[in-house]
Amino acid sequence: MAEVVEVLVPGGKATAGPPLGPSLGPLGINVKAVVDEINKKTATFNGMQVPVKIEVDAKKNFTISVGIPPTTALIKKEANIEKGSAEPNVKVAGNLPFEAAVRIANMKLEGMLSYELKTAVREVVGTCVSMGVTVDGKRAKDVLADIAAGKYDSVLVK
């Protein structure tokens, strides 16, 4: 029976320390080999927390599957900000291009509650509301209203 370890690691910068080392050590596998493989697979998500799943079978073989970082981490990267606003309705933390919201929605679509791109983009823009991030220079709530009114349908509905 396979053992499964699920952790959040910094993209491209995982180490044998916590949370990986203590979780993998008792399984009797080469922790350094696992860490090297994780770093290779998560290098494109540098600076973001990435969900990683490690499966170890009875013969001590391991397989690594890398998830998509949380929506907030993707928004921070695309908007080039360190963190969201402490006062989202008062202070603006950054600006996210609408095209980036569509890209993030496409990346996350499989794991979202939405079945369509339009609703997935609404989820991403909704996250911008709580982070204090504008979308194309407009308040995220206004962009949500525009999406609902169909102003972005040429981009979102295929």
* Residue 155 clears pLDDT 70, i.e. is over it: yes
pLDDT tens sequence across 5-26: 999 999 999 999 988 989 898 8
Structure-model confidence comparison of residues 115 and 118, the more confident one: 118
Work out the average pLDDT over 55-68.
Answer: 92
Residue 67 has pLDDT above 80, yes or no: yes
pLDDT higher than 90, residue 126 = yes
Domains of the chain, start order: 3-66 (3.30.1550.10), 71-156 (1.10.10.250)
d(CA 144, CA 142): 5
> Taking every pair of C-alpha atoms in the chain, what is the biggest distance, in angstroms?
57
| Pairing, β 62-66 against β 133-135 | unpaired
Which pLDDT value is given to residue 156?
Answer: 87
Reported as a single tens digit per residue, the pLDDT across 21-48 is 898 988 889 999 999 999 999 998 887 8
